[in-house]
């Protein structure tokens, strides 16, 4: 190495294996790495075949700041001994990073890709890693292997490639919690080992298997297919938020009912609606094999003048126990009219589908939890005007 230093001989790739660690050898390695960096090294490979050897404190900041380094492979070393928060801010040369049996924490793992924005390949081999959170990356360049103890994974704004989740879940038998948001390229998720699944605005998801899930949270504009491989379900909690629904028709209600019918848990559903046509309520009827949905809490947010057929389709598709309403006075009156009509078999609309389950009891409250008398919709609206509020909720017994 002295000859390389004195003669300034270019070094393309520098590999070193640590077989007999001691403090003197550590000092020498620091010097050798300095020479390699000064001579424009493009690739560094460090490893220690013996896990019993104390981990070498790898000079990660100095290495990442190298001008020409494109590949870094580390095995059995410590990169937690120095702070990455200062020093490795302009690492625009590194393209490939492989970490195996490396001592690091969440801060280090997040700092590396943030400090090296041009990384195109990141390989993680961390048998003891339990929690991983990653954002702004492509799964084609993210290889999570030998992470058998990984328990929770969070991905944000990650471009998912085909087969990524199947490959990951098959290798990570301990994975129980998966949270993904603003990720693209996902079509179907194998949840065979998962207990908690949270999906936020991931367009393109078509199928979710809820067979083994204990908790499901879904936020998005599309309604995916929810399937179960067995009649028995462990699902205890579910929260569904459907937003940016610019156009709603009978097919949309059919998907909604199919989706909610497979939720065997206590569920909370929020729907934001902006535009819809008159709904033919008969079109929302499904085959008898589908179970009538039973939603604990249904939150409705939209601005639209009255549309009785829409209210009919919505309530009969969800069968909520509690309905929270945030809308216009006209739509509030429409909801009250329709719900009172559902409770009264005498005035029941002929357009409503015949259903064994009818509305047995109906109560309304304003946002201050004051009871609202429902003798007539007009009277209820006058009361709400006096109370200066249009926010109210209904308790429904089917």
Tens of pLDDT, residue by residue over 118-150, are: 787 777 777 777 888 777 766 666 666 667 788
Give residues with Cβ within 8 angstroms of 171, minimum separation 6.
144, 145, 146, 147, 148
Q: Which residue has the higher pLDDT, 369 or 51?
A: 369
pLDDT tens-place string over residues 279-309: 655 544 544 455 678 789 999 887 666 677 7
Least confident piece of the model among 52-56, 218-222, 233-237, 252-256: 52-56
Mean pLDDT of the chain: 80
pTM for the whole structure: 0.74
* Whole-number pLDDT of residue 31: 92
* Sign, CA torsion 99/104/106/108: negative
Q: Which range, 52-61, 355-364, 381-390, is most confident?
A: 381-390
Q: Which comes out higher in pLDDT, residue 291 or 158?
A: 158
pLDDT at position 287? 46
Q: What's the pLDDT at 279? A: 63
Tell me the domain boundaries of the chain: 1-125, 130-136+149-228, 236-398
Residues 6+ apart with CB under 8 A from 169: 175, 190, 192, 193, 194
| Span 6-24, average pLDDT | 83
Decide: 223 and 259 in contact? Cβ < 8 Å. Answer: yes
What local confidence, expressed as pLDDT, does residue 125 receive? 73
Looking at the predicted structure, is the pLDDT value of residue 216 above 80?
Answer: yes
In the predicted structure, residue 64 carries a pLDDT above the cut 60 = yes
Per-residue model confidence (pLDDT) at position 229 = 63
Buried b (16+ CB within 10 A) or exposed e, 168-196: bbeebeebbbbbbbebebbebbebeebbb
Whether 19 shows a pLDDT value over 90: the answer reads: no
- Given a contact cutoff of 8 angstroms between Cβ atoms, the answer to whether 234 and 262 are in contact is no
**pLDDT at residue 39 in the model:** 94
**Percent of the chain at pLDDT exceeding 70:** 81
Contact 336, 377 (CB under 8 A): yes
Q: How crowded is residue 346: how many other Cβ atoms within 10 Å of its Cβ?
A: 5
- Using pLDDT thresholds of 50, 70 and 90, give the confidence band for residue 355: very low
pLDDT at 45 over 90: yes
Confidence of residue 349 (pLDDT cuts 50, 70, 90): very low
């Amino acid at each position: 190495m002295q000859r390389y230093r004195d003669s300034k001989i270019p070094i393309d790739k520098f590999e070193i294996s640590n077989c007999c660690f001691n403090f003197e050898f550590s000092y020498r390695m620091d010097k050798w790495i300095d020479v390699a960096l000064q001579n424009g090294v493009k690739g560094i490979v460090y490893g220690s075949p013996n896990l019993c050897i104390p981990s070498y404190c790898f000079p990660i900041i100095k290495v990442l700041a190298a001008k020409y380094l494109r590949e870094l492979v580390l095995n059995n070393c410590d990169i937690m001994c120095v702070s990455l928060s200062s020093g490795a801010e302009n690492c625009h040369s590194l393209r490939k990073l492989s970490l195996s049996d490396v001592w690091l924490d969440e801060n280090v793992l997040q700092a590396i890709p943030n400090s090296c924005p041009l990384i195109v390949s990141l390989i993680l081999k961390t048998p003891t890693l339990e929690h991983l959170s990653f954002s702004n990356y492509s799964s084609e360049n993210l290889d999570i292997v030998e992470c058998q103890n990984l328990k929770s994974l969070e991905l944000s704004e990650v471009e998912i490639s085909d087969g990524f989740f199947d490959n990951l879940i098959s290798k990570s038998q301990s994975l129980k919690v998966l949270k993904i948001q603003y990720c693209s390229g996902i079509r179907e998720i194998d949840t065979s080992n998962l207990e908690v699944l949270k999906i936020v605005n991931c367009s393109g998801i078509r199928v979710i298997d809820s067979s083994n899930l204990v908790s499901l949270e879904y936020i998005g504009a599309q309604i995916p297919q929810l399937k179960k491989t067995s009649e028995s379900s462990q699902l205890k909690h579910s929260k569904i938020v459907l937003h940016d629904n610019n156009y709603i028709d009978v097919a949309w209600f059919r998907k909604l009912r199919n989706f909610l019918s497979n939720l065997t848990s206590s569920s909370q559903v929020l729907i934001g609606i902006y535009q819809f046509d008159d709904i033919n309520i008969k079109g929302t009827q499904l085959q008898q094999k589908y179970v009538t949905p039973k939603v604990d809490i249904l939150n409705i947010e939209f601005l639209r003048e009255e549309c009785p057929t829409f209210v009919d389709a919505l309530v009969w598709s969800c069968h909520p126990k509690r309905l929270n309403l945030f809308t216009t006075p006209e739509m509030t009156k429409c909801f009250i009219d329709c719900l009172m009509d559902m409770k009264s078999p005498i005035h029941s609309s002929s357009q409503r589908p015949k259903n064994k389950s009818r509305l047995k009891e109906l109560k309304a409250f304003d946002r201050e939890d004051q009871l609202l008398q429902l003798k007539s919709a007009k009277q209820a609206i006058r009361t709400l005007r006096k109370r200066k509020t249009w926010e109210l909720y209904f308790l429904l017994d089917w």
